[in-house]
Structure 1
Amino acid sequence: MTNRFLQAKHWQIFLLTFGIPMIFQFVMMGSMMSNFTTQTNPDPTTMFNYMKFFPLMMVIFMAVFFGWFWSVAIGLQEKVPEGVTMKVRKFKIFFFIPLMYILLFMTFFSVSMNGLLTSNTVPNIGIIGGLFAIIFPLHLFSMFCIFYCLYFVAKTFKTVELQREVKFSDFAGEFFMIWFYPIGIWIVQPKINKMIEE
């Protein structure tokens, strides 16, 4: 699977991460809007029915996004020059933390949406506040882990490209290109394809 990501063309990865979810979202929003405009007395809860598909879209996006991260960070390790040590174990730990958080959050989101739709009870403010107190720090830590993954992927990419130990100033451009993934993938992925061919 790693080699598939490394050998994939930039447009293929872009289509999987942004193209298909965007089209899916446009279809979903168009369907929602047509329901609201065609009905004389639209039911606002029908919008929540469409929200059930949101976790599915997020899972598809995150699978490709994180799959690409893993492929670059781990798949290019064999091309890292001797004498350069990369903290692969630390990357693996920080890689799986946001994945677990996102899966748990999406599961919680799906269950909550189903619960809101099936029961007519008013949500408890205390429970919502408690959940927010748990989710907020987890969310911040998950964001930190994702930024570390961006850092590690950019560092691995530049280390393989330059075949030497690199500092952040060497790969700052790649870090921001990977951060702004929809634009950066068009520049970074062709270089990765070239590395794999060599």
Structure 2
Amino acid sequence: MISKFLKAKHWQLFILMFGIPLILQFITMGSIMFSFSNSEKPEALIMINALTLFPVIMIINSGLLFGWFWSIAIGLQKKVPQSVRMKVKKFQYFFFVPLIYIMLISLLIGFATSGLFIDGNASASIGGGISIALVVILHFFSMFCIIYCLYFVAKTIKTVELQREVNFNDFIGEFFMLWFYPLGIWIIQPKINKIAETESV
């Protein structure tokens, strides 16, 4: 699977990670608007039925994006110079935290949305203020982990490319291209393709 991500063309990844989820979102929103104007069902029931697709879209998008990050960060380690030490274990820990969080929050969205529309009580639907505070804390920690993953992946790319120890100034461009991946993927992935085709160091 790692090699498939490394060898995939930029347009293929763009379609999978951005194009298809975007189309699914448009279809979902379109179905909601159509249902409102043509259905005799209660509006709340229409929203509940339509929003059940959003967690699926989120999981697919996140799975592909994180799969790409993992493939770069782990798949290119064999091309990192032996003199450079990369904190792979730290990356792996920070990688799985947001991934698990996104999966759990996706499941929670369906439950919370159902509770909000049926009960009309946001605090009751997600377990009250303590649960909200916990979700907020986990959310910010997950954001920190994602930023670290972007940092590590960008550093890996530049380290392999330059074959030396690098600092943030060297790979700040790659960092922001990974952050804004719908645009950055068109520049980053050709580099990855080229690196993947070269012989291991």
TM-score range, shorter chain: over 0.9
Alignment of 1:29-40 (within 5 A): 29-39=29-39
Distance 1:76 1:58 in 2: 27
Distance 2:81 2:91 in 1: 18
Tell me the secondary structure at the aligned position of residue 165 of structure 2: coil
Distance 1:100 1:144 in 2: 14
Spell out, residue by residue over 1:46-75, the C-alpha distance to the aligned partner (whole angstroms, 9 max, x if none): 122111111100000001000000000000
Which 5+ residue runs of structure 2 have no aligned equivalent?
none
For residue 123 of structure 2, what is the aligned residue in structure 1?
A: 125
CA displacement at 1:125 relative to structure 2: 3.2
CA displacement at 1:103 relative to structure 2: 1.3
Q: How many residues end up aligned between the 2 structures?
A: 195
Give the aligned residue type for 1:43.
P
Tell me the secondary structure at the aligned position of residue 85 of structure 2: coil
For residue 139 of structure 1, what is the aligned residue in structure 2?
A: 139
For residue 11 of structure 2, what is the aligned residue in structure 1?
A: 11
Alignment of 1:44-55 (within 5 A): 44-45=43-44, 46-55=46-55
For residue 159 of structure 1, what is the aligned residue in structure 2?
A: 159
Tell me the secondary structure at the aligned position of residue 195 of structure 1: helix
Could you state the TM-score of these two structures normalised by the residue count of structure 2? 0.91
Spell out, residue by residue over 1:2-60, the C-alpha distance to the aligned partner (whole angstroms, 9 max, x if none): 00000000011111111111111111111211222335x66321122111111100000
Q: Does 1:2 align with 2:22?
A: no
For residue 83 of structure 2, what is the aligned residue in structure 1?
A: 83
Counterpart contact for 2:115–2:121, Cα < 8 Å: no
Distance 2:194 2:70 in 1: 18
Q: Does 1:58 align with 2:87?
A: no
For residue 43 of structure 1, what is the aligned residue in structure 2?
A: 42
Flag the 1:82–1:121 CA change in 2: closer, same or farther, 3 A. Answer: closer
Q: Does 1:149 align with 2:149?
A: yes
For residue 176 of structure 1, what is the aligned residue in structure 2?
A: 176
Tell me the secondary structure at the aligned position of residue 165 of structure 1: coil
Counterpart contact for 2:10–2:189, Cα < 8 Å: yes
Distance 2:115 2:37 in 1: 27
Q: Among all aligned residue pairs of Structure 1 and Structure 2, give the percentage whose two residues are the same amino acid.
A: 56
Counterpart contact for 2:116–2:122, Cα < 8 Å: no
For residue 106 of structure 1, what is the aligned residue in structure 2?
A: 106
Q: Does 1:189 align with 2:151?
A: no
Spell out, residue by residue over 1:152-195, the C-alpha distance to the aligned partner (whole angstroms, 9 max, x if none): 00000000000000010000011011111100000000011011
Distance 1:124 1:25 in 2: 24
CA displacement at 1:113 relative to structure 2: 3.4
Give the aligned residue type for 1:69.
F
For residue 21 of structure 1, what is the aligned residue in structure 2?
A: 21
Counterpart contact for 2:155–2:171, Cα < 8 Å: yes
